[in-house]
Structure 1
């Protein structure tokens, strides 16, 4: 079984990639998809990274994390793919976990795992029991770097919505939420496993819902994608409860959520 890590990075982030790769392993390959907004950033690409035999390096001028992931996915050839950012640090043990999981579960399309900081602190409070995604706790959040996918189950069938994610002006996160909603609607077999596969320095942007307007807009857009017109009531209740507990001011938060709903309604097609 081959594993392919799709590493998406932009501008100065390229300098971090090489240090996070493990020594070459026969069944592990990397696609490094590099976005740059100015030609001067090309000078930062480490020669040692491009010359590694287990790395396929590609570059495109532009920005947008979802665009980058979709492009990298179109190039993938491995049996199992993992989505990663430039600060994701994998290990032999992590790759073993992914490989063994998909070998033991041939029916599986998508597996969810755990991540930690570089110091070993869990990225979030993870459930301790294994379960199908359909039976997940309501409050459970999934990040793209915690996912591993059987390539044939998603390539050419499921993309990240390019209206969402880092690099977009309006909806600055939530691309994995939309991806998961679509995956569930497609009937993909998805399961969570309480095992760590990766370390990262990434701050979970969704947790900035009370202070970040882009996250609030994304929240409204995701709610509309999931609930349709009921999203207005859902966002109203969320903003009211948040304001009542002193986490935010009601009107600014609710206004941003409504803006997100309007954006996704008037820009209905995935770019």
Structure 2
């Protein structure tokens, strides 16, 4: 069994990629998908990347994390693939844990694992026991870096919605929720496992729902993607309840939710 680690990086982040990779092993290959917005950033690419036989580097002029992930997935050829950011750290047990999971779960399409901060604190309130997933978990939002996919089952059947995510100007998060909606509709066999496979410094953008307009627009857009016209009422209810709890001011919060809905209607 083999795995492609899809490392997505932008501009200055490329200098950290060396820290992501573990010592070479025959069943692990790293695909570095590097987006840059100015050619001067190309000078930052570590020479060590070209010296490792287990690394393939692709360079793209542009930005947008969802687009970067899609570009990286298209290059994968291994039996499994997983996503990593340029601030991701793997453990010594990461790949053995993944391989053993898929060897035991022969019909599994996508596995979800745990992530923690560098200090060992779990990133989210994960379930204690393994469980099948037929929808987004109720207690937390899955992240791309927590999942491992069987390539033949997933590649070419699902992509990240490039209207969402870091690097976009309007809908700055929410790509994982949209991805999960599409994965459920595609009928993938998905399962969560209570094993930590990586550490990260990633800030959970969704946690800024009450202070960030881009996150608020993204939430409105997600509601529309999931519920269609009912998104207007759900946005009203959410904004009203949030304002009553003094988490936000109703008018700007509700307006940003509606802006997300309008954007989705415009780009359908």
Aligned residues: 268
Deviation at 1:137, TM superposition (A): 4.4
Deviation at 1:239, TM superposition (A): 1.3
Deviation at 1:238, TM superposition (A): 1.3
Are positions 1:194 and 2:194 aligned together? yes
Counterpart in 2 of 1:80? 80
Q: Secondary structure at the match of 1:114?
A: strand
4+ long deviations beyond 6 Å = none
Deviation at 1:91, TM superposition (A): 2.2
Counterpart in 2 of 1:149? 149
Distance 2:233 2:90 in 1: 41
User: Which range moves more in the overlay, 44-53 or 7-16?
Assistant: 44-53
> Taking structure 1 as reference, are residues 135 and 31 closer, same or farther at Cα in structure 2, changes over 3 Å only?
closer
Q: Which runs of 5+ in 1 are unaligned?
A: none
Counterpart in 1 of 2:159? 159
User: Which range moves more in the overlay, 200-209 or 89-98?
Assistant: 89-98
Residue by residue, what CA displacement relative to the aligned partner does 1:30-75 show, whole Å, maximum 9, x if unpaired? 1000000001000100000222111100101111111111111110
Counterpart in 1 of 2:118? 118
Counterpart in 2 of 1:168? 168
Q: Which runs of 5+ in 2 are unaligned?
A: none
- Taking structure 1 as the reference length, the TM-score comes to 0.97
Distance 1:30 1:137 in 2: 29
> Taking structure 1 as reference, are residues 147 and 124 closer, same or farther at Cα in structure 2, changes over 3 Å only?
same
Distance 2:95 2:74 in 1: 22
- Cα RMSD between the aligned structures? 1.1
Counterpart in 2 of 1:108? 108
Deviation at 1:130, TM superposition (A): 1.0
Are positions 1:52 and 2:52 aligned together? yes
Residue by residue, what CA displacement relative to the aligned partner does 1:96-152 show, whole Å, maximum 9, x if unpaired? 111111111011111111000111111111110111112764232101100111011
